[in-house]
Chains A and B, each alone.
Chain A
Amino acid sequence: MDRSELETLYRRMLVIRRSEERLQKLFADGEVPGFLHLSIGQEAVPTGVSHHLTDRDTVSSNHRGHGHTLAKGVDLTGFFAEIMGRATGLCKGRGGSMHVADLSKGMLGANGIVGAGIPITTGSALALKMQGGGHVAAVYFGDGALAEGVVHECFNIAALWSLPVLFVCENNGWSEFSPTERQLATRLDRLAAAFSITYRGVDGNRVEEVAETAGALIAGMRETPAPAILECATTRVRGHFEGDRQDYRDAAEIDDLDARDPLRLAADGLIAAGTAEAWFAGTLAEVDAEIEAAVAAARSAPDADPAGMLSDVYTVEA
Chain B
Amino acid sequence: MNKPINQSGWKPGTPVASDGSEHPTVTGNKALMLEEALIFEIGGTETCGVDLPETPTDLPSRLGDFARTDGTGLPGLSEPETVRHYTRLSRQNYGIDLGFFPLGSCTMKHNPRLNEKVARMPGFADVHPMQPTDTVQGALGVMNELAHWLIELTGMRGVAMSPKAGAHGELCGILCIRAALEARGDARKVVLVPESAHGTNPATAAFAGYATEDIPANKDGRVDLEALKERLGPDVAAVMITNPNTCGLFERDMKAISDAVHEAGGFVYCDGANFNAIMGRVKPGDLGVDAMHINLHKTFSTPHGGGGPGSGPVVLSEALSPFGPLPFTARTDDGYIHLVEEENADEYDHTRAFGRMTAFHGQMGMFSRALTYILSHGADGLRTAAGDAVLNANYILRQLEGEFDAPFAASGPCMHEALFSDEGFAEGFSTLDLAKGLIDEGFHPMTMYFPLVVHGAMLIEPTETESKDGIDQFIMAMKSLGKRAKEGDEALKSAPHHAPRARLDEAQAARKPRLSWTQDEG
Are the chains A and B members of one assembly? no
Query: Interface of A with B (CB < 8 Å)?
Result: none
Query: Interface of B with A (CB < 8 Å)?
Result: none
